[in-house]
């Protein structure tokens, strides 16, 4: 266990549960035809977003991906407004016009999810440059998948962040597949973190299903970034529990592989660790779970009862 307070451990477990229960609910709501557009669920990868964001201050930034609900929640997004946006409602973060893949909340440093694979990377580098020019000690955590690490944006962005020593933590969420494409088909390396060498920055692989391990490596990267020493590339090995998007049954994944990763469920493992270290007992964990379920139910109720935007509002807040 790490030398963290009981409150911090509880906060991390609570955030992971919020993400899991939120995603389970979104999965159900989609089946009820209440979600316009598609969704990409983060269930199974909670330890990454929570391990990273638990090191960040409110004024630090993150950039996200098409699989962004977990990043939003980990950075402190409002569950009600997030759910409302996914359901296309007026009370959502983008007034119901952005949907699942475009949630942003500048007040908590969440610079935005994006449907364009790899597009969050240059945004993070730009935010890093702005921090450097403003001479603050903020940092940016930039989430992206291993598929995105084959995009030009990754190579150009990481190079620029390196030469200018920008305070960016590049967090590669390696869930083994980009849509249905296994990493080994499109890359001749096993670890994306090896790419750090090419840009002269530290890089490392971490068990992305172990929230404390992710926390620990991020802590060092954040410290380095705050001191003005530049970026770090962290590769988190993890696995999405569901298909790429809601309509993907993920039949391309071998059954044994799915079972192996389900057994390494990050929430189950964290709960076991907490109980083993006597930080929380089973009853306390169940109590937190019940509280989180209520929170999620309230978010769903809020979203369902909220109105859709009016047709006249269609062109408001549109920039391009």
Ligand X SMILES: Cc1ncc(C[n+]2csc(CCOP(=O)(O)OP(=O)(O)O)c2C)c(N)n1
Tell me the catalytic residues: 240, 244, 252
Compute CA 14 distance to the chain's CA centroid, rounded to the nearest angstrom. Answer: 15
Number of residues that this document lists for the chain: 320
Cβ 177 to ligand X shortest distance, Å: 6
User: What DSSP string describes 174-234?
Assistant: E-SEETTEEHHHH-S-S-GGGHHHHTTS-EEEEETT-HHHHHHHHHHHHHHHHTT---EEE
Instruction: Please name which of 196, 102, 215, 204 lies closest in space to residue 157, comparing C-alpha atoms.
Output: 196
For residues 99 and 139, the answer to whether their CB atoms sit within 8 Å is no
Task: Specify the residue, 105 or 173, whose C-beta has the smaller distance to ligand X.
Answer: 173
CB of 147 to ligand X, least distance (A): 3
Work out how close the CB of 123 gets to ligand X at its nearest, in angstroms, rounded to a whole number: 14
Q: Would you tell me which residues interact with ligand X (CB under 6 A)?
A: 66-67, 115-117, 144-148, 173, 175, 177-179, 244
Nearer to ligand X, 171 or 285 (CB): 171
Round to whole Å and give the CA distance between 307 and 91: 8
For ligand X, the closer of residues 87 and 192 by Cβ is 192
Q: How far is the CB of 169 from ligand X (least distance, A)?
A: 17
Q: Least distance from C-beta 16 to ligand X, angstroms?
A: 18
**Rounded-to-integer distance, Cα 67 and Cα 265, Å:** 18
The answer to whether the CB of 266 falls within 8 A of the CB of 17 is no
Those residues whose C-beta lies under 8 Å from the C-beta of residue 204, and which sit 6 or more positions away, are 193, 196, 217, 232, 233, 234, 235
* Beta strands per DSSP E along 3-139: 61-63
Strands 140-145 and 61-63: parallel
Name the residue nearer to ligand X (CB basis): 121 or 131: 121
Residue nearest to ligand X (CB): 145
β pairing state of 61-63 and 181-182 = unpaired
9 versus 66: smaller Cβ distance to ligand X: 66
Between CA 297 and CA 224 the distance in angstroms is 40
The CB-of-95 to ligand X minimum distance in angstroms stands at: 23
Which residue shows structure tokens 């109590």?
Answer: 287
Nearer to ligand X, 148 or 267 (CB): 148
């Amino acid at each position: 266990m790490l030398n963290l307070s009981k409150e911090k451990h509880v906060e991390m477990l609570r955030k992971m549960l919020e993400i899991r229960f939120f995603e389970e609910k979104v999965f159900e709501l989609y089946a009820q035809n209440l979600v316009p557009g598609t969704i990409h669920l983060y269930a199974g990868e909670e330890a990454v977003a929570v391990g990273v964001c638990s090191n960040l201050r409110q004024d630090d930034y993150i950039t996200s991906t098409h699989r962004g609900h977990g990043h939003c929640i980990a950075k402190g997004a409002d569950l009600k407004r997030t759910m409302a946006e996914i359901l296309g409602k007026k009370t959502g973060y983008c007034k119901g016009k952005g949907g699942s893949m475009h949630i942003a909340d500048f007040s908590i440093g969440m610079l935005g999810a994006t449907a364009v694979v790899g597009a969050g990377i240059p945004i993070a580098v730009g935010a890093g440059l702005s921090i450097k020019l403003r001479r603050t000690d903020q940092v940016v955590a930039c989430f992206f998948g291993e598929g995105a690490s084959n995009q030009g944006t990754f190579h150009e962005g990481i190079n620029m962040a390196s030469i200018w020593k920008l305070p960016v933590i590049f967090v590669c969420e390696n869930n083994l597949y980009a849509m249905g494409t296994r990493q080994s088909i499109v890359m001749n390396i096993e670890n994306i973190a090896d790419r750090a060498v090419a840009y002269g920055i530290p890089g490392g692989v971490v068990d992305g299903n172990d929230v404390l391990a992710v926390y620990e490596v991020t802590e060092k990267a954040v410290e380095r970034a705050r001191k003005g020493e530049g970026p770090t590339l962290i590769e988190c090995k993890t696995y999405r529990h569901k298909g790429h998007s809601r309509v993907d049954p993920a039949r391309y994944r071998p059954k044994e592989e799915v079972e192996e990763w389900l057994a390494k469920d990050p929430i189950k493992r964290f709960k076991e660790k907490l109980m083993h270290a006597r930080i929380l007992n089973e009853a306390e964990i169940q109590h937190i779970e019940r509280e989180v379920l209520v929170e999620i139910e309230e978010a769903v109720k809020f979203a369902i009862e909220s109105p859709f935007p009016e047709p006249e509002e269609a062109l408001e807040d549109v920039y391009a």
